[in-house]
């Protein structure tokens, strides 16, 4: 273990406190060759660490490390390869005992390895439904868990709001059975996962459904295809749309924004705060 249990608990509880005080930025660190936006840019551990440190300096409160692309059509990665990728950077990040690390994985074994090193958040894009061991991994490591609303396949006929409620109700039952404290759960509307582009917009417009559960809400929309659909922009030209969606999400109650462009979001949130405080 890189961090002592006491330090890890302090970081976990500290980031929960920060979420309660105002929006926290989660910087995306994909150590993958094929992620939709920055695939291959940070496969070299030295470059990845430098990028993470830059995001922290720009205002990120969390670094979310991913070793397998979750874009549609991406190739599956073995547990061993994914663990190797993420563990090439997590121990280095945690040498600074002020850094909060999240592991972006749906595999329980990868989550356990990252938590053993000191990661305090498990960001599961399948909401603990893909790997039956994930809930136990979260409970036994005392980690926070991001439960993402992800049905796998888009269904334009369903009532999205009702389905989100059913999904999260089931997630809390699963968490309770495993022994995960309710206060360790974060909810993510799952923009880009198993939804039509219109349902992505509906999910963002109805964040109140998630906020009503009384736990932190995480929103990850950075550079995603629904923004390109609305604005007719390619991946590299979606910052303005990402910022607009992020600010709208904060105004609807989001506690965490998962982003590529940390500095721009930090500026946007600072401006929003100044306006709010001038009332």
Burial degree of 159 (CB within 10 A; 0-12, 13-18, 19+): exposed
Furthest-apart CA pair in the chain: how many Å? 53
| Whether residue 39 has pLDDT greater than 70 | no
| Token couple for 272 | 């929003």
pLDDT (average), residues 113-125? 97
Beta-bridged to residue 218, according to DSSP, are 256
- Locate 169 and state its tokens: 């109700």
Q: Pairing state of beta strands 256-259 and 218-219?
A: parallel
The radius of gyration of the chain's CA atoms, rounded to the nearest angstrom, is 17
Residues 49-75, mean pLDDT to the nearest whole number? 88
**Mean pLDDT for all residues in the chain:** 93
Q: 66 with 35: CB under 8 angstroms?
A: yes
Query: Could you tell me what percent of the chain has a pLDDT over 70?
Result: 95
Nearest alpha-carbon partner for 129 in 68, 165, 175: 175
Buried b (16+ CB within 10 A) or exposed e, 206-217: ebebbbebebbb
Q: Tell me the helices (H) and strands (E) count for the chain, helix number first.
A: 12, 8
- Residue 74 pLDDT grade (very low, low, confident, very high; cuts 50, 70, 90): low
Q: What is the pLDDT of residue 40?
A: 63
For the chain, which residues make up each domain, given as ranges? 5-277
Confidence of residue 69 (pLDDT cuts 50, 70, 90): confident
pLDDT at 36: 47
Instruction: State the pLDDT at residue 37.
Output: 53
pLDDT at 278 over 70: yes
CA gap 256, 69 in Å, rounded: 21
User: How many beta carbons lie within 10 A of that of residue 244, not counting itself?
Assistant: 15
Give the tens place of pLDDT for each residue, 150-202: 988 899 999 999 999 999 999 999 999 999 999 999 999 999 999 998 999 99
Q: Which fold has domain 5-277?
A: TIM Barrel (3.20.20)
By DSSP bridging, strand 62-66 and strand 24-30 are parallel
Enzyme catalytic residues: 224, 258
User: Which pTM value belongs to this model?
Assistant: 0.94
Nearest to 31, CA basis, from 11, 45, 52, 12 = 45
Mean pLDDT, residues 221-228 taken together: 93
Select from 78, 74, 72, 28 the least CA-distant residue to 51.
28
**pLDDT one-digit tens code per residue, 137-157:** 999 999 999 999 998 889 999
Tell me the pLDDT tens digit for each residue of 198-220. Answer: 999 999 999 999 999 999 999 99
Q: Are strands 62-66 and 101-104 parallel, antiparallel or unpaired?
A: parallel
């Amino acid at each position: 273990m890189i961090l002592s249990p006491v330090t890890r608990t302090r970081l976990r509880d500290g980031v929960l406190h920060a979420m309660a005080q105002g929006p926290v930025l989660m910087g995306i660190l994909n150590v993958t060759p094929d992620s939709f936006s920055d695939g291959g840019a940070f496969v070299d551990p030295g470059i990845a660490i430098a990028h993470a440190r830059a995001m922290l300096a720009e205002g990120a409160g969390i670094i979310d490390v991913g070793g397998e692309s979750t874009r549609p059509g991406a190739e599956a990665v073995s547990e061993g390869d994914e663990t190797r990728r993420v563990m090439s950077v997590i121990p280095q990040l945690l040498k600074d005992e002020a850094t909060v690390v999240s592991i972006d994985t749906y595999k329980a074994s990868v989550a356990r390895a990252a938590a053993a090193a000191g990661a305090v958040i498990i960001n599961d894009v399948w909401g603990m439904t893909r790997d039956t061991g994930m809930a136990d991994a979260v409970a036994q490591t005392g980690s926070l868990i991001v439960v993402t609303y992800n049905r796998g396949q888009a269904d334009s006929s369903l009532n999205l709001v009702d389905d989100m409620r059913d999904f999260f109700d089931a997630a809390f039952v699963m968490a309770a059975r495993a022994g995960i404290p309710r206060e360790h759960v974060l909810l993510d509307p799952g923009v880009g996962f198993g939804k039509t582009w219109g349902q992505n917009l509906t999910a963002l417009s109805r964040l109140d459904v998630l906020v009503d559960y009384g736990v932190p809400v995480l929103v990850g929309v950075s550079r995603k295809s629904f923004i390109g659909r609305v604005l007719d922009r390619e991946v590299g030209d979606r910052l303005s749309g990402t910022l607009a969606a992020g600010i709208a999400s904060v105004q609807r109650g989001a506690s965490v924004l998962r982003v590529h462009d940390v500095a721009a979001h930090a500026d946007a949130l600072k401006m929003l705060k100044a306006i709010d405080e001038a009332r």
